[in-house]
Structure 1
Amino acid sequence: MPRPQSQAEYLARLVPPSVAARGIGRRALLRGALGVGAGVGLTGLLAACGGGGDQGGAAAGPGTVSFGSNESGTTFAKQRDAMAADYLKASGTTIAINAVDHNTFQENINTYLQGNPDDVFSWFAGYRMRFFAEQGLIGDVSAAWPLQGIPDKFKVQSTADDGKQYFVPQSYYPWAVFYRKSMFQAAGYQVPTTLDEFRALCQRMQADGLVPLAFGDKDGWPAMGTFDMLNMRINGYQYHVDLMAGKGSWDSPQVRTVFDTWRGLLPFHQPDALGRTWQEAAQTLQKKQAGMYILGTFLNEQFPDDEDDLDFFTFPEVDSRIGATAIDAPIDGFCMSASPDNEEGSIAFLKYLASPQAAAAAATTGLPLIAANTEADTSPYSQLQLKSAELVGQATEIAQFLDRDTRPDFASTVIIPAFQQFIGNPNDIDGLVKSIEAQKQSIFTS
């Protein structure tokens, strides 16, 4: 595969006018208590974190920055550890890591930020960042900008409604339909380009004794990727981002068509999905029990010894007038707490996290992410990364993923239970869309 050029095409399409013009309201969200490491509850976490002023705990010294990481015990944690070690060597500043599993961190971020957060923490671009900026729960990091090698389009994704930057980007990755090359080759399967071809392939896999689509939605968010793909394929990218912005109606013929199409595909999905994590679902693809899986490239974590057999294709075309060139490609990066104990050190660390040096440290872990910094060395990229960059470069529209493109309270309190209800009982689409729309109106007008 030829090495892709710079991410200029992707960056030029990062911020459609409808997305840049969106605002969000104020509403508290999320619940629960964070746990960190082995058996440390909320009180222990807050006491251990560096930020938060006078609330107690071990404050970060002048040579220390506390770092709240949303990865614990995963391949992705290696990236964080490699960056922390590299930064200590380069700067003499110690990075005190407080690691929490990804889903716990994400679903309890509001509790975390209102408690005693770390100086710097992992987070996402999009409206989940802007929401917390508006609430005053994260810090202004404009002093870190401009960032050499980070284009202006990423700066827009890092900017809140007040014109200040609250985010530093590091990487992005696409969602697609994954499969094992050896399985396709052995069975003579062909990559589908249309929904009809996709259905036919699923039927053939079933006849061959395979689960066509691995599926696990215990954590609530994986199913969002399927909805995103179907909505963008059936109704187009602009309709999708407007719907996420609260502008469109969920109780519309267009959205009903999405759910009806999804219902037709559910028999090809792995059953009992609500009791299965994405990692457990990925294992069925890894073990050649399932034929495909709709997920992000982080799927490679479950293929430590045979990533070279992992391949993907973009979700196929549903309507030829719309095509199949819109994709999800979320941007990951970092924010700073509203009151860091070591603000100067935090800004310096954030600048490093966006640098080619940090990208080089991350590249040693074999993670399938694409560096946001255009000056980053791509020579260590795997074939999966190279193809990911190629897919993103060919996309005409880029979405950030459902729970980053809409209000966080709407995604967490309405969409997750609604989609899980649909997966459990797909035959009441009328009641489902009416309920989503009623709750949406209540939230978006608050």
Structure 2
Amino acid sequence: MLASLPADAEQLNVSLIGGGYGRTVFFEYGQRFEAETGIDIKWTVKHDADYKQSLNGWFEGTDTPDVIQWQGGERLFQYVRKGWVEPITDFWVDNGLEATFTPAIQETVAYDREVYGVPYSFYHWGFYYKNSVFQSLGIRPPRDWDDLLSMCSKLRSAGLEPIVIGTRYHWPSAAWFDYLDLRINGIDFHRSLTRGEISFKDTRVRVVFEHWKQLLDAECFIEAATHRTMNWRDPLPYLYRDMAGTGLFGNFVTGEMPPRYQSDFRFFPFPKINDVPRAEDAPTDIFIIPARSNNKEAARKFLAFMARADIQEEMNTRLKTIPTNRFSAIASDPFIEEGSKLLQAADSVAQFFDRDTPKGMADKATVVFTDFMETGDIDATLAELEAARRQFYRESTTAALSEPSDLTVID
């Protein structure tokens, strides 16, 4: 049992998203931090929606936590631009963290030549399939666009639905937009687009939807009348029962697989299309110090603790996610091992469409993406997306962004 801290111990206020097992893990490592430093952690724990509603008040008010758990990329940078997040570039350099994290991971917390947070966990996206099904049909995981179309043709000819998806709540269709844009136009274009800096009527966006329409015309997806009735979990039995070939998911899907099927499942990344730097969707969780923190020295000690290879290794193993520290050992889980190799080798990572755009844009665009999977109407889709860009990015410059729900908690 850990020794009790003295009554006058220094206190650090840390905010945390959610509850359940994840909270238990963080509390345990909080005790370890307390034992090592003598600093007492006071946790503020809120579930997703309440947490996000509290953020503006925390950043601007008097009851500001010293450390805030948050998410990398645009969800961080929106607050950086307001001057609400403490830069920690000197801390980053002093602790040698430029060697600890890959350039792709550093991009999730670096803005305008300053660093603003410490990443501790992320997870990968890609295709999950039963190896026995692919082997029986002589299919190899596709490596390029032609391979992907060929895979669809072989699966359809064999009487299987090539690719499953459940779009009742729309967000899964955004994964297809993300990956097609990343593979066709690259990460720099994708970031400019999701920041509202490029028109959706740009010819490069049209090319994305032309490729997507090729998949629709080739009947690669389960029919729209079916996938619009299902949430993201509902199509999984199609894969279990050899009625479908594969699906594009985040690695959270492995937690849904019954043990009797799991050993037969495999993973492959989204295939190459154009010769652009390889980017992956990899939602990244971080800790930051708000500019109004009253205990920045202790906060930096906590960030240094969370950056450590041993801490990230142990915590991510228990949480079934991937450590961002390149020196952390990876859990002996085949999907985590493959995902870690994929993300550590990536040139860049994106955060997923709903993390990279304002809430209004994400809410509208994911519906438009889902509609496109039914209509295949490129002109109407581009017009709707451009109208949304003009509306919601104008609004986001005058009001704080309200955050959409995380992928793993949407049904």
SS of aligned partner of 1:364: helix
Cα gap change, 1:399 to 1:96, in 2 (>3 Å): closer
More off after superposition, 343-352 vs 86-95: 86-95
Asked if 1:127 corresponds to 2:74, the answer is yes
Asked if 1:87 corresponds to 2:33, the answer is yes
Matched residue type, 1:262: W
Alpha-carbon distance between aligned partners in 2 of 1:288 and 1:120, rounded to the nearest angstrom: 47
CA contact (8 A) 1:325 1:397 kept: yes
Deviation at 1:170, TM superposition (A): 1.2
Q: Give the alignment partner of residue 278 of structure 1, picking from 225, 232, 236.
A: 232
Mapping 1:44-443, distance limit 5 Å: 62-63=10-11, 65-69=13-17, 71-73=18-20, 80=26, 83-84=29-30, 86-88=32-34, 90-91=36-37, 93-94=40-41, 96=43, 98-101=45-48, 104=49, 109=52, 111-115=53-57, 119-140=66-87, 145-146=92-93, 148=95, 150-151=97-98, 153=103, 154-155=105-106, 157-161=108-112, 164-266=114-216, 267-270=219-222, 271=224, 272-282=226-236, 284-285=238-239, 288-303=242-257, 305=259, 307-319=262-274, 322=275, 325-337=278-290, 339-340=292-293, 344-365=297-318, 367-369=320-322, 371-378=323-330, 380-404=331-355, 406-409=356-359, 411-423=361-373, 425-443=374-392
Deviation at 1:251, TM superposition (A): 1.0
Matched residue type, 1:334: F
Alpha-carbon distance between aligned partners in 2 of 1:284 and 1:345, rounded to the nearest angstrom: 51
Cα gap change, 1:132 to 1:421, in 2 (>3 Å): farther
CA contact (8 A) 2:129 2:265 kept: yes
Alpha-carbon distance between aligned partners in 1 of 2:95 and 2:341, rounded to the nearest angstrom: 23
Cα gap change, 1:139 to 1:236, in 2 (>3 Å): closer
Matched residue type, 1:87: F
SS of aligned partner of 2:81: helix
- Which residue of structure 2 lines up, in the alignment, with residue 37 of structure 1? none
CA contact (8 A) 1:149 1:355 kept: no
Deviation at 1:62, TM superposition (A): 4.5
More off after superposition, 143-152 vs 189-198: 143-152
SS of aligned partner of 2:110: coil
Matched residue type, 1:300: T
CA contact (8 A) 2:187 2:277 kept: no
Deviation at 1:365, TM superposition (A): 1.6
CA contact (8 A) 1:118 1:337 kept: yes
Alpha-carbon distance between aligned partners in 2 of 1:120 and 1:283, rounded to the nearest angstrom: 42
Deviation at 1:131, TM superposition (A): 0.3
CA contact (8 A) 1:147 1:351 kept: no
Cα gap change, 1:127 to 1:325, in 2 (>3 Å): closer
CA contact (8 A) 2:137 2:154 kept: no
Could you state the TM-score of these two structures normalised by the residue count of structure 2? 0.74
Matched residue type, 1:98: V
Cα gap change, 1:364 to 1:125, in 2 (>3 Å): closer
Cα gap change, 1:77 to 1:276, in 2 (>3 Å): farther
Runs (5+) with no aligned partner, structure 2: 1-8, 59-63, 398-411
Cα gap change, 1:226 to 1:390, in 2 (>3 Å): same
CA contact (8 A) 1:314 1:324 kept: no
Deviation at 1:122, TM superposition (A): 3.1
Matched residue type, 2:268: F
Alpha-carbon distance between aligned partners in 2 of 1:66 and 1:259, rounded to the nearest angstrom: 43
CA contact (8 A) 1:211 1:291 kept: yes
CA contact (8 A) 1:88 1:95 kept: no
More off after superposition, 85-94 vs 387-396: 85-94
Deviation at 1:296, TM superposition (A): 2.5
The CA RMSD measured in Å over matched residues stands at 3.6
Alpha-carbon distance between aligned partners in 1 of 2:96 and 2:232, rounded to the nearest angstrom: 34
Cα gap change, 1:149 to 1:427, in 2 (>3 Å): same
Matched residue type, 2:315: A
SS of aligned partner of 1:327: strand
Alpha-carbon distance between aligned partners in 1 of 2:241 and 2:83, rounded to the nearest angstrom: 46
What whole-Å deviation, never above 9, does each CA across 1:364-415 have from its counterpart, x for those lacking one?
A: 326141x22233234x4433233223323544554443344x4434643542
In the comparison of the two structures, how many residue pairs are matched? 372
Deviation at 1:258, TM superposition (A): 1.8
Matched residue type, 1:372: T
Cα gap change, 1:84 to 1:269, in 2 (>3 Å): farther
Fraction of identical pairs, as percent: 25
More off after superposition, 89-98 vs 120-129: 89-98
Alpha-carbon distance between aligned partners in 1 of 2:270 and 2:229, rounded to the nearest angstrom: 25
More off after superposition, 124-133 vs 216-225: 216-225
